[in-house]
A and B are shown apart, each in its own frame.
Chain A
C-alpha cells in the first residue's frame, strides 16, 4: 500500500505513547513496514507530545512531513491545534477528543485557553474534515479510566475507515503493547468506539 501518515498528539499521561505503539504493532501485524517517532524526557512532564506513525510497503523517514498527515488523533483539543500544520486540505482528517486538559502554566503566563469552536474553526485551513468526540467521557463512564479515551478513538477510526488497519490486527497489536491485566477493559472501550455513531 501507499504510505499512511498519522500524528498522535496530546498531553503527557494521556496515553499518546500507548496509542502510538499499538498502531505501530498493528501495522506490523498486517505485514506492513512501519516507523514511529516519539519524544521522551522533558516532553513527558505534563507537557505537549506529538508522536508520528507511518506505515506502508516501505517506510524511510520516521517523521510525517508537514502537511502530509492522513489522520491526526488529537487526544486533547489544544494539542490538536498545536500540531495542525501536519494537516492539509484534501488529505487530512482530524479526530479530536473534546476533553480539555488546561495547562496550568496559562494561569501564571496569563495566556488564554481557546474555545472549542475557535479550535475547530482554526483547524479548517489544515483539513477538510474535523470530527470531534468526547472520548474521555465515554472512557470514564465505560471503565472509570479516562486514559482509555485513546482506544475509543482508535476503535472509532477503524470502524469509520479513517485508518487502513483491520480490527483483528489492532487486537493483535494491543496484545503486544498493553499489559495483560488491562487488556480486557481496553478492548471493551475499543469496541465502544466501533459502535459509536
Chain B
C-alpha cells in the first residue's frame, strides 16, 4: 500500500490493477472519490480509504452506487476532479443519474470506473458487459489491459473528461482489477480540493427544452473525441507489414491472450489493439481491415466490437470474413482464456499448436476431486440465524435471498436462499410472492444491503400491505467485500466518527410495528422471535444483531482476551450429528464416526453448546 503514495517519478513498483487506478487518480490531482463496495472493484475504495487522509483528499463509502455517482458528480460540477468506482451492477444502480450526467457534462474531470466480472469469480448476478452503457449513454470509454494501463488510462480519462466537459468510463474486468503488474510511477499532482458550484440555467437542468440542446451538444463532443480516438497512441496496431490475410482486433485483457497465442503459434499476424473503445476509431479500423481477407475479434464477454466491425466492413471490404463469438470461434459465456484465442487462430489459419487443451482436460476429468464449497466462517452469526429459522419452519417457507455473505446460505445444510437477484431484491420479490400465495415467506437481507436498497422495498411492503417476515442480518459491517463501514456502524470512509443510524429505528419509522432486536447467538430467543413473527397479520422485522465474528476475534485478540476452547465429551455424545449436519460449523469434523472440534478453527461462539441436545459440548482448558 505504501507504494501508492511514493512520489518517486520513474520508479517501478508492483501494483494491483485497482491500486494502479487509484495511483492514476493521484497523478491526475483527484480531490474527491466515492464508492459503494463491490468486488472486483472493492480495492479501489479501500485503497482510497487507506490514503485519503495522508493524500489530503476526500473519500466516502456512500450508501449505494447511485448516491456515490451523484456525490462524485456534485464535486465535479463544483470544479473538483472526482472518481466513482463500482462493480458492474453498481452501474445499473447508478444508471438513473448516469444517463443525464452525460448530457450535463462536468466542470472538472470525472472518471467512472466500472468493473465487469466474466465468469462471476467474485460476484453473483450476471456476466454483464458494461461496454453497452457507453453506447447507451454516449459516454466515452477506455479499457485498460493491465496495471500499467490502469494507471495511464486513468490519467488520459481525467484529461479527456476535463477537456471535453464529459464524464469518462473506465471499464475493467476481473483479471485487470485483480491482476498485479509492474507500474512505472509518475508525479503525484496536487489538485483542487475545494470548489464552487456556479449556476448555469441551461447546462445543469435536465429539462425540456434544454435537453434537446445538450443532447445535440453531446453528439458534437463525441464527434470531437472520435477524432482523438483516431490519433491517440492507445489505439495502435502491431505487425502492420504482416503478409497474412488474417488480422486480429482486440481490447482489454484479451489483447494479452492474443499476443501470447501468436507467440505460441509463431505467427506474426497484424493486431489492432483498442484502448479508447468508444467512440471507436472508425477510420483506423476501416484502414486496418481494408486489405484483409478475414478478421478475428477477441474481446471479453459480448461481441460488441465484432458487431461494429461488420458494419464498418460494409463500406470498405464487404467480402471480409469475420470470426469471433457469433460464429462459435470464441465462447459466448464465461471468461475468455488464452487457449480460446489460441484454438481460434489455429482453426482459422490451419496452423497446428503443440498444445492440446482438450486432451489435457480429458485426463483431468477422470480425477475424483472433492469440492471445497465456500462456507460461512466458524462463529458466523448468520449461521445461527439460519439454524434458528430453519428449526422453526424447516423447509416449509419461501426464503428470499439477497447480496452479502449470507448468500452462502444457499448451500446445504441451510438452503435459505431460494432466489438471488440484486441488492434489496429479497423484499421486493417476497412481497409479490406473499401477495399471490399463502406460503410462509421470509426475506433475509444484510445490514449494508438494507441501507443500500432495502428501505423502499420495506416501505412498499407496509404501504401495500403484505405480511412476510423480514430478517435483517445485522453483522455491523459490509462483510463480504472486506468489512467496509456503513451508516449503521457510525464510522466514515475517512475513518471519522459519525452518527450511528440504527436499523430498528429506520424499520419503525417505515411503519413496521412488529420489530424485534435479537442476538442470534441466543438460539432460543431467535427461534421464539421467528415463531411469534410468523403468526402476525402484518409484516414483522427481526434485526438479528451480532458483530461479524472475524471483526470480533480481531478486536478480542488486540485486547489480549483469552479465547475459550470447546470440546466434545465423547461419553455424552450420541452421534446425532446436529452440530455438523444441521449447523454445519467448519470447526466441527468427524473421524472414525466420532465428532470433534478443531481448536485452530473454533472461534468460541459457543452456539454449538446451546444446540447440542445431549449437552455434550463444553468449554475445555
Contacts and interface: CB of A to CB of B under 8 A. Distances in A.
Interface of A: 11, 20-21, 24-25, 28, 33-43, 45-48, 59-63, 65-68, 78-79, 81-82, 84-85, 88, 102-109, 111-114, 118, 122, 125-126, 176
Contacts of A113: 370
B588 A104 contact: yes
A34 B370 contact: no
A37 to B, nearest CB: 5
A28 B374 contact: no
A105 B12 contact: no
A106 B589 CA distance: 10
Contact of A45 (B367, B377, B412): B377
A108 to B, nearest CB: 5
Contact of A28 (B14, B367, B481, B580): B14
B64 interface: no
Q: Which of A48, A104, A106 has the most CB of B within 10 A?
A: A104
30 contacts: A25-B14, A28-B14, A33-B182, A34-B181, A35-B146, A39-B122, A40-B40, A45-B377, A46-B372, A46-B586, A47-B372, A60-B256, A60-B259, A61-B257, A61-B259, A61-B260, A62-B179, A63-B338, A67-B355, A78-B370, A79-B372, A82-B372, A85-B363, A104-B587, A105-B372, A108-B411, A108-B413, A108-B580, A112-B368, A125-B363
Contacts of B411: 105, 108
Interface string B159-176: 000000000000000110
B408 A40 contact: no
A114 B180 contact: no
A115 B85 CA distance: 46
B179 A35 contact: yes
Interface string B570-584: 000000000011001
A99 to B, nearest CB: 11
B178 A38 contact: yes
Of B357, B375, B376, the most chain A CB neighbours within 10 A belong to B375
B284 to A, nearest CB: 22
A85 B360 contact: yes
A109 B338 contact: no
B475 interface: no
Lowest 7 CB-CB distances: which A-B pairs, in order? A41-B122, A41-B39, A105-B373, A103-B372, A60-B256, A104-B586, A47-B374
B473 to A, nearest CB: 15
B597 to A, nearest CB: 12
Contacts of A48: 372
B175 A107 contact: no
Contact of A46 (B12, B367, B368, B375): B375
Contact of B180 (A21, A47, A63, A82): A21
A136 to B, nearest CB: 11
Nearest to B177: A40
Contacts of A105: 371-373, 375, 411
Contacts of A38: 16, 178-180
Nearest to A122: B367
Given A21-B14, A41-B40, 4 more contacts: A21-B180, A35-B182, A109-B412, A112-B370
Contact of B374 (A46, A67, A126, A176): A46
Nearest to B12: A28
B590 interface: yes
Contact of A107 (B342, B374, B590): B590
B496 interface: no
B178 A39 contact: yes
Interface in B250-281: 253, 255-257, 259-260, 264
Contacts of B367: 81, 84, 122
Nearest to A67: B360
Contacts of A65: 260, 264, 337-339, 342, 355
Contacts of A111: 370-371
B256 A62 contact: yes
Contact of B370 (A33, A39, A114): A114
B509 interface: no
A64 B481 CA distance: 26
Contacts of A84: 364, 367
Contact of A104 (B13, B175, B408, B584): B584
A34 B148 CA distance: 12
A109 B371 contact: yes
A66 B339 contact: yes
Contact of B580 (A62, A107, A109): A107
B360 A62 contact: no
A20 B581 CA distance: 35
Contacts of A122: 367
A40 B43 contact: yes
B405 interface: yes
B371 A103 contact: yes
B372 A78 contact: yes
A67 B361 CA distance: 10
A10 B12 CA distance: 29
Given A46-B586, A85-B360, A113-B370, A40 B375 contact: no
